[in-house]
Chains A and B, each alone.
Chain A
Amino acid sequence: MSELQAVVAGQPAAPAEGWQFEWSDRRLGIARISNGEQAEVILVEGSGSRWVVTLRGRRIPVVVRTWRERVLAEAEIASGGTGGQAEVRATLPGMILAVAVKEGDEVHEGDPLVTVEAMKMQNEVRAPRSGRVGAVGVEPGQPVAAGALILRID
């Protein structure tokens, strides 16, 4: 397994050297790292290739992949993404309060699309780029899960 590659924020990351790692509570993901001079209690949560390391309170997603997983991931990227479409998704679970656009509308980057209420805050979801609104998948009053597709911009 020595060919494991770590990726942080989309970039291959060189693991720190000279540190020791030991689990304090594997079930809860509590671990201790030390290098002889400093020691830190951190959280390491995840499985397989997807991990989140909480360091001094900050959650850092890390992909740890084998050679095989790396080849597969790169092949997927090479086969092309969404083909010029932008998907607008809910970042939080919440409720759709208002929908400002309909299918076929021309929108400019930054235009308000929908208003979502989550955790007592009203947030306007804005167009990530300019284009024409494709199918709108939500209506006012509808609850949405995190990651739910709100609409597409073609």
Chain B
Amino acid sequence: MATSRSDRSASLRKDGGQDRATPPFRRILIANRGEIAIRVIRTCRELGIESIAVYSEADADALHVRQADRALRIGPATPAESYLSIVAIVEAARRSRAEAIHPGYGFLSESAAFAAAVAAAGIVFIGPPAETLATLGDKLAARRAAVAAGVPIVPGLLMPVGDPSLSSEALEEVGFPALLKAAAGGGGRGMRRVDHAEQVEAARALASREAEAAFGDGTLYLERLVSPARHIEVQLLGDRFGGLAVLGERECSVQRRHQKLVEESPSPAVTPELRTALAESARRIASGVAFENAATVEFLVDADGNHYFLEMNTRLQVEHGVTEAVTGLDLVAWQIRVAAGDRLPPEVLQVQNRGHAIEARVYAEDPHDGFRPAPGRVMAWQMPAGPGIRVDAGISEGSLLPTEYDPLLAKLVVHAPDRASALARLRRALEETLIGGVQTDLSFLRWLLDEPGFAAGEYDTGLIEEAWVDGPPLGSDQVGLAAFAAREARLTLAATLTTFAGNRPERPADRPWAAMARREAVERLRSR
């Protein structure tokens, strides 16, 4: 290792404080894609930092490639050979002479091996040190760390399923139903519900393969299913001098497949006492490890208001925008600054949260068919705007959604003085949003606002499974309107063809999708 982390940042640091005369780094490589890459690019631009994007073959035309100052191709569409390739990304950073790497979320963001490789190349990893990632990235080690810090954890195993020393009694003791989880996991992937101890073996095979494919590690552990439960997380920001900001909670109980769809802050379920308790637990966990940068401590809260540590994610979360709205802070900017060795100033450490924020994630998924991914080409693309609305999207009109990656299309974050006005604002935002070409969860999101439990702020992680299932059946009014609209569309089209067909040859500009398809076909032929 040529220079240690702190030596390097000390040389980059102007005054170690918040009044910077120079940008924290000259050039940052963003080891991610889609909306989060664009999110980081935006902050880089504001801080006067040059942004370097990387992309796989599937993303050559992606928005993040166009928005960055420079973009480097790192490999084929398969994540393992591009966005998950440590070698390819470190090499790209070397080639572009990036001083730091922002990993975004997902992909390599919590990989200790990646953080170590980046540091070994003399580049700053924007995130916690590799050792911290190793401890917290292993969810089993994180559970042991929480126990050591005196923080309550979800009842369950402290060793992997399949460990030779694991007795069948210990397995029974977990209590069922239970959840099989990937030790290297996160984001709900590789997670399976098991109702009896005898089912563990069968569920293990599939869950382990999924974990292996997603994280490169098939190790699983078992945790009792807390139900009903609310999923509530606490946002942390820390510097290397022990400064730790607790930036409030996010309520994340609207989930399908254990993955979040809607998040809000503050949580309608959190009392001032619970807020203090959650903050205290989060602080204890962070103090028990060498923590710096941004992290989220996730908890389950049961019906009696008891909280249990779930995991600590040592990276930016998808839903960080909710906290940015209520705190007014740019979390990415602070990630970059603490990585460069800055101290968190009092205005960050003692920030007062303001108002209520809600995020709705727009996915290319069919909520009427088990939230099955629904890839395709996005046609119409109209995003909401106006007071209190933020849209983070990684695509635009005409974008083809690669099947290799997450089907997240956009995040709508609304901010208003209170929950009622935030809900009204979200309703307006959803009404303004139009996405063509692919089925999205917009129909679900619109339903959610009218769901009595959600509207009242009284909901838990079972909401979608219990109240939505596959959504209400098509009503006769919807069928009638759809039939009417389609008939009118065909009639107007037929009328146009009769009127203009003779004297107005179709120009390619009138049919951009056809033109695009032609172009792609030509490119395919060329590349043979």
A135 within 8 A of B: no
Q: Is there a chain B Cβ closer than 8 Å to A122's Cβ?
A: yes
A64-B490 in contact (CB<8A): yes
A118 touching B379 by the CB < 8 A rule? no
Any A CB within 8 A of the CB of B372: yes
* Interchain CB contact under 8 A, B443 and A19: no
Q: Is B482 an interface residue (CB 8 A)?
A: yes
Establish whether residues B209 and A6, one from each chain, have CB atoms under 8 Å apart when the complex forms: no
Say which residue of A8, A93, A117 sits within 8 Å of B375 (CB atoms).
A93
Bound complex: CA A21 to CA B375 (Å): 29
Tell me what chain B mostly uses at the interface: helix, strand, loop, or mixed.
Answer: helix
Check if B436 sits within 8 Å of A9, measured CB to CB. no
B39-70, CB < 8 A from A: none
Q: Which of B436, B441, B444, B493 has the most CB of A within 10 A?
A: B436
**Contact segment of B95-103, B114-122, B473-481:** B473-481
- Whether A55 and B380, one on each chain, are in contact in the complex, defined by CB atoms closer than 8 angstroms, is no
Q: Identify the closest chain B residue to A28 (Cβ).
A: B380
B486 at the interface (CB under 8 A from A): yes
Residue of A nearest to B495 (CB): A1
Residue in contact with A8 in the complex, picked from B483, B493, B512, CB distance below 8 Å: B483
The interface size bin for chain B is 35 or more
User: Could you say which residues of chain B place their CB within 8 Å of the CB of A97?
Assistant: 209, 213
Q: Is B519 positioned at the interface, with any CB of A under 8 Å from its CB?
A: no
In angstroms, Cα B488 to Cα A42, docked, is 13
Which one of A27, A58, A64 has the highest number of Cβ atoms from chain B below 10 Å of its Cβ? A58
A interface residues, tally (CB under 8 Å):
55
The yes or no answer to A111 lying at the interface (CB within 8 A) is no
Q: Residue B485 contacts which of A17, A31, A91, A118 (CB distance < 8 angstroms)?
A: A31
Q: Quick one: CB contact mask for B484-524 with A, threshold 8 Å, 1 for yes?
A: 11111111111000000000000000111000000000000
B436 adjacent to A121 (CB under 8 Å): no
Select B206's contact among A26, A118, A120, A122, beta carbons within 8 Å. A122
Interface flag for A46 (CB, 8 Å): yes
Choose, from B27-35, B264-272, B342-350, B402-410, the stretch at the interface.
Answer: B402-410
Q: Which residues of A contact B (CB under 8 A)?
A: 1, 4, 6, 8-9, 13-17, 19, 21, 23, 25-31, 33, 40-49, 51, 53-60, 62, 64, 91-94, 97, 115, 117-122, 124
Listed A/B pairs (5) with beta-carbon separation below 8 Å: A17-B484, A30-B382, A54-B434, A58-B368, A58-B443
